[in-house]
Amino acid sequence: MSKTVRPAGNSDIPSIMTVLEAAKGIMRASGNMNQWVNGYPSEDVISDDISHGYGFVVEDDGALEGYFAYIPSPEPTYAKIYDGAWLDDEKPYHVVHRIGSTPGSHGVFEAIMDFCFSHDPNIRIDTHRDNHIMQHCILKAGFSYCGIIYLASGDERLAYQRL
């Protein structure tokens, strides 16, 4: 297994969308019916990630197995946290969004976290209450649960941070 992380390019978008559709299938099969609905994340969202330098892919021996966005602070939806507090609310941080991987791939989340923490020791992440797979991965990676945030749409997310 030789996982590598690299910046995504526009030519990766069709493969990224295939990965994200597969990730939606994994979510639905595990009972997470309400996250990533109504066409989200769309090609426009991924294209925007890429144009800002936030989009990254995970490859294993050249095969695209995962996608994520790695975005510098501030994250507007993290300005208010409910029923808890951030571990540190002063230092700059990066946010990891839109993590998706192909069924049967292993080590994608670990490769993402290795990449992210090699660039910033302060990472925040959030996920849907029904996304038990992601919650498990987040906690296994050493994140602490910090509270609840609300997206611009008003949807609730569980928020985590690791320093």
pLDDT, one tens digit per residue, over 151-161 is: 998 999 999 99
Is residue 30 within 8 A of residue 136, CB to CB? The reply is: no
pLDDT for position 65: 96
Average the pLDDT over 5-9 and give the result: 98
Average the pLDDT over 29-55 and give the result: 95
What structural domains and CATH numbers belong to the chain? 3-162 (3.40.630.30)
pLDDT for position 32: 92
Is residue 138 within 8 A of residue 158, CB to CB? The reply is: no
Residue 75 has pLDDT above 90, yes or no: yes
Is residue 59 within 8 A of residue 6, CB to CB? The reply is: yes
Average the pLDDT over 28-47 and give the result: 93
- Return all residues near 49 (Cβ < 8 A) that are at least 6 apart: 8, 55, 69, 71, 98
Cα angle 26-68-122, degrees, rounded to a multiple of 5: 120
- Residue 2 — very low, low, confident or very high, per pLDDT cuts 50/70/90? confident
pLDDT for position 1: 55
pLDDT for position 119: 97
In the chain, DSSP finds a helix count (H) and a strand count (E) of 4, 7
